[in-house]
Chains A and B, each alone.
Chain A
Amino acid sequence: GENVEQHPSTLSVQEGDSAVIKCTYSDSASNYFPWYKQELGKGPQLIIDIRSNVGEKKDQRIAVTLNKTAKHFSLHITETQPEDSAVYFCAAMGSGYSTLTFGKGTMLLVS
């Protein structure tokens, strides 16, 4: 099945700096890569996603890039704000079954 590795596990940045979280996946047939944000005491919420036919996608301060050859994708947050502090999960949808495989999460702290 699909395996998703996520790094780093924790990331501390100063307000206004950029943050980058990286994920790799194992199934070359995977075609959908969402990113979820989880605030304390809440369920994860989709913030951005990308499909395998696109290399980059932006939504205001958030962007995601995908390198299918290297099988990795990254989340970029610019001009970070305190409200960006949360746990971020990457995920990938592999082939053969209709489920998402999640990375282990990155705790982002903006101070």
Chain B
Amino acid sequence: NAGVTQTPKFQVLKTGQSMTLQCAQDMNHEYMSWYRQDPGMGLRLIHYSVGAGITDQGEVPNGYNVSRSTTEDFPLRLLSAAPSQTSVYFCASSYEEWNTEAFFGQGTRLTVV
């Protein structure tokens, strides 16, 4: 049972480039989300999904797109990378609503130069 898998683990982008951060879970969880973690800022919600075909914005959605075509996958797209998007990104999933345990991936460390 792999849990929540994020790829890549590390990425360096140039300003203006686009890329997709991958997230997959094998626990048949309906709820998935993306957070970014910055020093002194904790975990801030970017986008979340309550099931396949349903997504919504979190606290800091600007510059990011998501889609949820399957239960298993929830990719995060950076449309035009900016230095302000340098951060560690975490994907999480939960079986039901967020009042049950959220399982986090190992994170993707992204640097935009």
Which positions in A face B, CB cutoff 8 Å?
1, 6, 9, 31-32, 34, 36, 41-46, 49, 51, 89, 93, 97-105
Contacts and interface: CB of A to CB of B under 8 A. Distances in A.
A102 B101 contact: no
Given A31-B99, A98-B97, A102-B42, 10 more contacts: A43-B105, A43-B106, A43-B107, A44-B43, A51-B99, A89-B42, A97-B56, A98-B48, A100-B45, A102-B43
Interface residues of B, number: 26
A45 B104 contact: yes
B107 A103 contact: no
The 10 closest A-B pairs by CB, nearest first: A43-B104, A32-B99, A104-B42, A102-B43, A46-B101, A98-B97, A102-B42, A100-B98, A44-B104, A93-B98
A104 B41 contact: yes
Interface of B: 4, 31, 33, 35, 40-45, 48, 50, 56, 58-59, 90, 92, 97-99, 101-102, 104-107
Contact of B31 (A49, A98, A101, A105): A98
Interface centre among A9, A31, A98 (most CB of B within 10 A): A98
Nearest to B35: A102
